[in-house]
């Protein structure tokens, strides 16, 4: 009995060395064949009682080594199969074999970056601030009267639990925060999302994006403002672009103006887009009101400045002729694919 069992152990050991499997089912079948209660190793264990007492120690050691070897082999096959399965799970075998197309930048991002790059060449840096603001930075510091219509619930989103907290209606709040903490010279642009309580339509939305610019220093004049505006218009819309400034009113600037550019669709000849005037309004601007400077801790007898602000959607509409403002926020891939690839 003893030599026959040794021979069986050696044969089984050789089998175990060459075990392979290509599926979980095959691995389970191997486990049952060798390690189950009716498996081959269990049969050897049952025959072990017939081994002579003086040989039990050596044969028992061989049997235990065979059992451990088999269990380790089964475990190795399971681990190997599990790794292969994980790799397969990470691959979508149903996707097209063609290379995945590059994405595209959102048109608002394209235009915002272009605006920032143009003003960057004039020495402006980017400043950002919170979208949830307080009344002082949005209205009070900017010379808004207590009964100004912008403070009404019909125009502004206020936080019900605290009427002094609101969603900013313009990025001018970033300018007030910078002026409070920084002494001139100040030369910043403030891009960001703003919110107003308006009905959503093809012409308006309850949130949109702005870029505002602020320059405060000694001896800043309206001529400096006009030159910066002309440079921006030509860089954004083309070298032949003309500008005109019309008197206007804003609580935080005095004097104030609205700027038009010659229609970049008809070249100033007149078309439905410009209502046959040859001009299209794109932004508001003016010299910073001395009251605003003083409210932010800047001496208005020493320093002056200009500010301007524009809607990024407005500039994007002019640049790409998008007719429906809602398309910017609907995330329609067919719309987004029309713009330049991401870099």
Give the pLDDT confidence score for residue 29 in this predicted structure.
85
Query: Which residues, in sequence order, are bridge partners of residue 207?
Result: 195
What is the rounded CA–CA span in Å between residue 135 and residue 264? 38
Q: Is the pLDDT of residue 163 over 60?
A: yes
pLDDT per position as a tens digit, 32-76: 888 888 888 888 777 777 777 777 788 778 888 888 888 888 888
The secondary structure of 201-225 as a DSSP string is SSS--SEEEEEEEEEEETT--HHHH
Q: How far is CA 237 from the centre of its chain?
A: 27
How many CB atoms are located within 10 Å of the residue 177 CB?
A: 19
Structure tokens that stand for 313 in this block: 């959607």
Triad 88, 92, 95: Cα angle to 5°: 150
Residue 331 has pLDDT above 90, yes or no: no
Domain residue ranges in the chain: 2-89, 107-336
Superfamily name with CATH number, domain 107-336: Bira Bifunctional Protein; Domain 2 (3.30.930.10)
Distances (CA, A) of 138 to 104, 155, 183, 258: 34, 13, 20, 21
| Digit-coded pLDDT (tens) for 227-283 | 999 999 999 998 989 999 999 999 899 999 999 999 877 777 777 777 888 898 999
User: What are the tokens at 272?
Assistant: 């439905």
Q: How confident is the model at residue 121 (pLDDT cuts 50, 70, 90)?
A: very high
Helix or strand (DSSP H, E) at 315:
helix 312-320
**Residue partners of 320: CB distance under 8 A and separation at least 6:** 107, 339
Q: What is the pLDDT of residue 343?
A: 46
What are 208-231's pLDDT values in tens digits?
899 999 999 999 999 999 999 999
Share of the chain above pLDDT 90, in %: 38
Instruction: For CA atoms 50, 55, 57, 58, give the dihedral sign.
Output: negative
Spatial distance between the Cα atoms of 306 and 226, rounded to a whole number of angstroms: 10
Provide the pLDDT for residue 340. Answer: 66
């Amino acid at each position: 009995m003893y030599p026959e069992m040794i021979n069986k152990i050696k044969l089984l050991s050789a089998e175990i060395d060459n075990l392979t499997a290509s599926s979980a089912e095959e691995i389970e079948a191997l486990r049952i064949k060798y390690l189950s209660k009716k498996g081959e190793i269990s049969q050897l264990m049952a025959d072990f009682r017939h081994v002579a007492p003086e040989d039990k120690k050596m044969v028992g050691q061989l049997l235990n080594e065979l059992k451990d070897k088999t269990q380790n082999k089964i475990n190795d096959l399971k681990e190997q199969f599990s790794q292969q399965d994980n790799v397969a799970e990470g691959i979508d075998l149903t996707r097209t074999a063609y290379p995945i197309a590059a994405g595209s930048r959102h048109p608002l991002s394209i235009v915002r970056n272009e605006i920032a790059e143009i003003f960057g060449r004039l020495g402006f840096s980017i400043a950002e601030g919170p979208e949830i603001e307080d009344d002082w930075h949005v209205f009070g510091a900017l010379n808004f009267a207590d009964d100004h219509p912008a403070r009404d619930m019909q125009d502004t989103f206020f936080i019900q639990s605290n009427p002094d907290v609101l969603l900013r209606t313009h990025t001018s709040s970033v300018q007030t925060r910078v002026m409070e903490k920084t002494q001139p010279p100040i030369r910043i642009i403030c891009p960001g999302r703003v919110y107003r309580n308006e009905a959503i339509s093809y012409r308006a939305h309850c949130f949109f994006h702005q870029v505002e610019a602020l320059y405060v220093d000694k001896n800043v004049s309206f001529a400096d403002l006009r030159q910066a505006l002309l440079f921006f218009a030509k860089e954004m819309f083309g070298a032949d672009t003309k500008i005109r400034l019309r008197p206007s009113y804003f609580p935080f600037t005095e004097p104030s103006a609205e700027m038009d550019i010659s229609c970049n669709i008809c070249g100033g000849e007149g078309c439905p887009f410009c209502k046959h005037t040859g001009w299209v309004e794109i932004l508001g601007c003016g010299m910073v009101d001395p009251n605003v400077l003083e409210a932010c801790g800047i001496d208005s007898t020493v320093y002056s400045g200009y500010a301007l602000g524009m809607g990024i959607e407005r500039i994007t509409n002019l640049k790409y002729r998008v007719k429906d403002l809602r398309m910017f926020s609907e995330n329609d891939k067919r719309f987004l694919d029309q713009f330049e690839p991401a870099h």
